[in-house]
Amino acid sequence: MNRTIDDDAVPCDAQPWNSSEPAEDEGCSLFEGDLGQLAVEVRRVLVTVLKRRYLSAERDPDVWRILMENRTALETRLNDMFLQLIVNRDYGVAYKRQAVPDGGGTFPTLLHNAAYSREQTILMVHLRGVFRSGLSDGAEAVFVDSQELIGEVANYLPEGTTNKVDADRAAQRAVEALYKSDILLQTPEPGRYRISPIIEVLLPVGRLQELAESLSQSWASPGDEPDENGGPSAEGEPS
């Protein structure tokens, strides 16, 4: 529904938004010609959902609260862009996903999929197993060290590999990439990371088994990309 902007319009940032107010506020204007209907803080959460790979209830409690209190309004905006909002309350994570037409085919997309490298795939499978094992032992948070991860990649080196320096560098780049993706979370101790619960969402049991089987096969050399179906995809980055 269109609305006119006049001198009586109230700036959205004139006072802070609170959860007792509706997400949609037709008396709120942020700029000249503003036809948006979401309160300013809800708009900010929408932008955060679009920009980040996922949101965490633990790490972003204020953002999570606004998201949950305005989930329908946010889903409506995302659906208009052919996106779905996926919320996993068990792990306290929410992320966007490209919608798929009921009759097949594709929608225009704002997102792109980037396949993980071989080293990243190895680490993803390892992290998923370590995370599940830690939770089974009653741990509230599960940690790993960078050297442990580099050593795990080394376990998959083809027989006869002589250039261990390049292999270790490729493994280190994989660790850094998973850190930048917020799959590994930095701790105060250098080289030590906490595994994000998003790992369970990214690798459900069926996909984990497929990847574990694929890793039993050797790739030609460190740094090679897996084949078309060899590695998981990192969906959710704006194009």
> What's residue 8's pLDDT?
43
Residue ranges of the chain whose pLDDT lies below 70: 1-27, 216-239
Record the tokens describing residue 24, joined without a space: 């949609």
d(C-alpha 13, C-alpha 159), whole Å? 62
CATH fold of 114-238, please? Arc Repressor Mutant, subunit A (1.10.10)
> What's residue 237's pLDDT?
53
Bridge partner list, 56: 93
> What's residue 13's pLDDT?
46
> What's residue 217's pLDDT?
61
d(C-alpha 70, C-alpha 88), whole Å? 16
Q: Which of 136, 114, 131, 129 is nearest to 212 (CA)?
A: 129
Give the other-Cβ count within 10 Å of 211's Cβ: 21
> What's residue 226's pLDDT?
41
CA 28 distance to own-chain centroid? 31
pLDDT digit string (tens) for 110-126?
887 777 888 998 999 99
Beta 83-88 vs 93-98: how paired, if at all? antiparallel
Domain boundaries, the chain: 10-109, 114-238
> What's residue 111's pLDDT?
82
Record the tokens describing residue 117, joined without a space: 């490298």
> What's residue 93's pLDDT?
93
> What's residue 24's pLDDT?
62
Query: Which CATH number, 3.10.450, 3.90.1150, 1.10.287, 3.40.50, labels domain 10-109?
Result: 3.90.1150
Mapped to the 3 state alphabet, what secondary structure does 77-139 carry?
A: HHHHCCEEEEEECCCCEEEEEECCCCCCCCCCCCEEEEECCHHHHHHHHHHHHHHHHHHHCCC
pTM of the prediction? 0.72
> What's residue 208's pLDDT?
72
> What's residue 89's pLDDT?
93
Q: What is the identity of the amino acid at 133? A: S
> What's residue 116's pLDDT?
80
